[in-house]
């Protein structure tokens, strides 16, 4: 077939390296010019937010870091948003991971939420630090709550001025971490958390931790949030929700979101965060209710995603205009192999 060098031919057979270059430009530019486009919240994300917002310090949430660094751009803001919400509401958080790499991501999320250089973060106290501290004449209750511990701790310690509050390891959160065959671990936690995780990620015995004493098994946990880049979310549904009734919420990547909406409609999950948009919606609600002083990475990332989506739509329009104007629909001409 003879090559035609009309403008439509050139557009129709555009070298994909131009597309790569255009995409690179449009994803970089919004980092320099903040657009801050407002985001409307959806029922899917509000379901999780309202559920967490109804919990108190006697309740508990279990968050699964069920993703790898590959999807952390989408998943990490979800985990951090839910954890921030729990910390602000003083709801204890159990952290697990389906994959070994989830341990490091969980540590990173905690480090970000307790970064002393960032205003609006929390001030972390490690387990060994507060557990072995000498409280004088007062003895530390074995099932000490967050508020009780704050009263004791603040006698000798000052909260950072720009901090949102204290976060005590073992009272407000514990990183249980990765365990092989996690679906079996989920089943086992329905019997006893300590039986599956005798120690946390740092080797601290979990049986001594107040939050574990108050929530001995996963049956006593009020919400499981699995943030995942894989179908591991279904393990939570099958083995935690269906086996012993733990309410479940999903945080999944955008490409997975369509797969799991069925569980939302059937009432098997309380809500779902889909992709960066889901995380951004959660961040918007956190700021609205004063749980954070500004939106996080997901909200900022939505500017980039907006421009990238517009570029893709423009490319689709250009491709179709070239398809019809170049006469490809009549002649049955084919585009050259992608370069």
Partner 1 sequence: MRRTIPLLIVMVGGIMMMIQFFIPHQISQAVFGLYTDYVPVIAGFALILGVGSLTRVHYHKVRRRAENWQYSLLVIFFLYLMPVFGIILPASLGGQAEEPSVFHFLYRWVQIPIQSSMFSLLAFYIASAAFRAFRARSAMATVLMLAAVIVMMGQVPIGDYLGKWFPALGLWILRHPNLGGKRAIQLGVGFGILATNLKIIFGVERNWLGGAGR
User: DSSP 3-state assignment of 86?
Assistant: helix
Binding mask 165-184 for partner 1 (x = CB under 8 A): --------------xxx--x
Selected from 140, 159, 201, 312, the binder of partner 1 by CB under 8 A is 312
Detail the DSSP E strand segments found in 93-222: 93-97, 123-125, 166-168, 173-178
Question: Applying CB under 8 A, which part among 18-26, 115-123, 144-152, 201-209 lies near partner 1?
Answer: 18-26
Helix axes 254-265, 275-288, angle to 10 degrees: 70
Between the two ends of the chain, the Cα-to-Cα distance in Å is 18
Q: Confirm or reject binding of residue 16 to partner 1 (CB under 8 A).
A: yes
For residue 93, the 8-state DSSP code is: E
Q: Are 67 and 230 in contact (CB under 8 A)?
A: yes
Give the helix/strand (H/E) hosting 290: none
Which two three-digit tokens encode residue 129? Answer: 């630090």
For residue 338, the 8-state DSSP code is: P
How far is it, in rounded angstroms, from Cα 21 to Cα 296? 27
Selected from 57, 68, 96, 215, the binder of partner 1 by CB under 8 A is 68
Question: Applying CB under 8 A, which part among 77-85, 115-123, 168-176, 186-194 lies near partner 1?
Answer: 186-194
Q: Confirm or reject binding of residue 126 to partner 1 (CB under 8 A).
A: no
Question: Applying CB under 8 A, which part among 21-29, 87-95, 125-133, 151-159 lies near partner 1?
Answer: 21-29
Selected from 2, 38, 161, 203, the binder of partner 1 by CB under 8 A is 38
User: DSSP 3-state assignment of 267?
Assistant: coil
How far is it, in rounded angstroms, from Cα 325 to Cα 327? 5
Q: How far is CA 312 from the centre of its chain?
A: 26
User: At a CB cut-off of 8 Å and minimum separation 6, what does 82 contact?
Assistant: 48, 52, 61, 63, 225, 227, 251, 282
DSSP output for 45-66: HHHHHHHHHT--TTS-EEEEEE
Provide the minimum distance between the beta carbon of 231 and partner 1 in the complex, in angstroms, as a whole number. Answer: 11
Q: Confirm or reject binding of residue 270 to partner 1 (CB under 8 A).
A: no
Give the binding-site size for partner 1 (rule: CB under 8 A): 61
Q: Confirm or reject binding of residue 325 to partner 1 (CB under 8 A).
A: no
How far is it, in rounded angstroms, from Cα 322 to Cα 339? 18
Q: Confirm or reject binding of residue 191 to partner 1 (CB under 8 A).
A: yes
Binding mask 243-262 for partner 1 (x = CB under 8 A): -----------x--xxx-xx
Which two three-digit tokens encode residue 226? Answer: 């699995």
Q: Confirm or reject binding of residue 143 to partner 1 (CB under 8 A).
A: no
Q: Confirm or reject binding of residue 286 to partner 1 (CB under 8 A).
A: no
Selected from 175, 187, 237, 273, the binder of partner 1 by CB under 8 A is 187
Selected from 119, 141, 245, 319, the binder of partner 1 by CB under 8 A is 319
**Residues binding partner 1 (CB under 8 A):** 14, 16, 19-20, 22-24, 27, 37-40, 42, 68-73, 101, 104, 108, 179-181, 184-185, 187-188, 191, 195-196, 254, 257-259, 261-262, 265, 275, 277, 302, 305-313, 315-316, 318-320, 323-324, 329, 335, 338
């Amino acid at each position: 077939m003879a090559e035609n060098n009309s403008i439509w031919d050139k557009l129709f057979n555009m070298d994909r390296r131009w597309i790569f270059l255009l995409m690179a430009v449009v994803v970089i530019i919004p980092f320099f010019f903040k657009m801050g486009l407002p985001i409307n919240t959806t029922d899917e994300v509000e379901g999780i937010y309202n559920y967490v917002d109804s919990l108190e310090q006697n309740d508990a949430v279990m968050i699964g870091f069920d993703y790898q660094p590959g999807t952390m751009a989408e998943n990490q803001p979800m985990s951090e948003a839910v954890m921030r919400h729990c910390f602000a509401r003083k709801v204890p958080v159990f952290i697990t991971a389906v994959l070994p790499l989830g341990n490091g991501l969980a540590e990173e999320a905690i480090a970000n939420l307790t970064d002393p250089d960032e205003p609006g973060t929390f001030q972390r106290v490690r387990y060994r630090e507060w557990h072995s501290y000498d409280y004088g004449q007062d003895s530390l209750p074995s099932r000490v709550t967050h508020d009780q511990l704050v009263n004791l701790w603040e006698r000798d310690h000052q909260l950072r001025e720009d901090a949102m509050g204290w976060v005590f390891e073992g009272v407000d959160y514990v990183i249980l971490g990765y365990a092989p065959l996690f679906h079996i671990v989920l089943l086992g936690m329905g019997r006893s958390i300590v039986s599956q995780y005798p120690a946390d990620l740092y080797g601290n015995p979990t049986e001594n931790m107040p939050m574990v004493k108050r929530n001995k098994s996963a049956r006593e946990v009020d919400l499981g949030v699995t943030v995942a880049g894989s179908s591991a979310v279904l393990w939570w549904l099958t083995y935690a929700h269906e086996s012993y009734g733990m309410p479940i919420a999903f945080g999944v990547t955008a490409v997975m979101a369509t797969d799991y909406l069925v569980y939302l409609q059937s009432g098997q999950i309380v809500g779902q965060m889909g992709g960066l948009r889901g995380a951004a919606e959660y961040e918007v609600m956190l700021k609205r209710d004063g749980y954070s002083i500004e939106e996080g990475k997901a909200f900022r990332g939505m500017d980039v995603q907006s421009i990238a989506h517009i570029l893709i739509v423009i490319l689709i329009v250009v491709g179709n205009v070239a398809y019809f104007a170049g006469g490809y629909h009549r002649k049955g001409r084919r585009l050259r192999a992608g370069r």
